[in-house]
Structure formats: structure tokens, C-alpha cells
Amino acid sequence: MNATTTATRSEYFAATQKSLQTTISRGETLFADGYSIEPYANRPGVYSVARAENDPRPVQAGDTLWNDVDVVNQDCTCKAFEFHGTCKHLIATNKVVANAARLMAPFMPVTSLLSQDKPAPRGFEGAEAFRKQRNQDFG
């Protein structure tokens, strides 16, 4: 391996990290920026996340005006998810669903909140950190 290859890999890693941080930041403010979310009545855990009507960016060929986000399987139909394995739509939807779960927690049976076999949503530090936070929040 030569220095050029190492620099290129380092640059690629740095660019990937920056892109991921941007994705997380956008996910944190997506709905405040005008995007909308609607659940599918016939597909539990799947939401349609629509682009903001006032979004100034032009629609590119192949772009969609909405994406389907599956919080159960941690999946999204957008291009970014295909490339990175996470995206702003998934991060934002996980946040909305987590907030809804916190609001509903007093009305839910404790056993449904403490299930250990559910995967942690993407964009969180990891499964253990997520479970620890969930147990603190609900339990």
C-alpha cells in the first residue's frame, strides 16, 4: 500500500463521516423544515415522508417527492439509505415514533416496552445504548 492509496482512503473515510453527520443533523430538523409524515393505514410501522412543499432544491431526474420509511425493519426507499444504510427520513421518523412512544408509555403495558428482541433504530449509538435509554425512559 502506498501513501496515495492511504490518503485516498483517509479522505474517503473523512468524507463519509462528514456525510453521515450531515444526514443526522438533517434528520433532527427534517419535520421542522416542512417535511410531512403520514402513517400507512394498511402497513403498520411504515410511514410516508413527503418533501417540503417550499423546498427550494430542484427535483432531479429519479427523485421522488416522498419516501416510504419502515421503522420496524429500519428501512427507507431513498437513495441515501441504499448508499449509507441510514438517511434523514429514517432518523427523523425514528425520532417522531420515539416521541410518540414516550407520550403513550403511561398507557401501554410494561412488557411491550421492555422487549429485548427489537433492534435499535439506526442513527443511535448502538443497541445497548438504545436499550439502556429505553429502560430509563419506560422502566
Exposed (0-12), middle (13-18) or buried (19+): which is 112, by Cβ within 10 Å? exposed
Q: What is the spatial distance between Cα 17 and Cα 87, in angstroms, rounded to a whole number? A: 13
**49 DSSP β-pair partners:** 37, 67
Q: What is the spatial distance between Cα 139 and Cα 134, in angstroms, rounded to a whole number? A: 8
The answer, yes or no, to whether residue 67 has pLDDT greater than 50, is: yes
Q: Which residues contact 85 (CB under 8 A, 6 or more apart)?
A: 122
Q: What is the 8-class DSSP label of residue 34? A: T
Looking at the chain, the whole-number percentage of residues with pLDDT higher than 70 is 71
Which grid cell sits at 90? 429514517
Candidates 6, 31, 40; CA nearest to 91 is: 31
Which grid cell sits at 124? 443511535
pLDDT digits (tens, 9 = 90+) for 93-133: 999 988 888 887 777 665 554 555 555 555 544 555 556 66
pTM above 0.85, yes or no: no
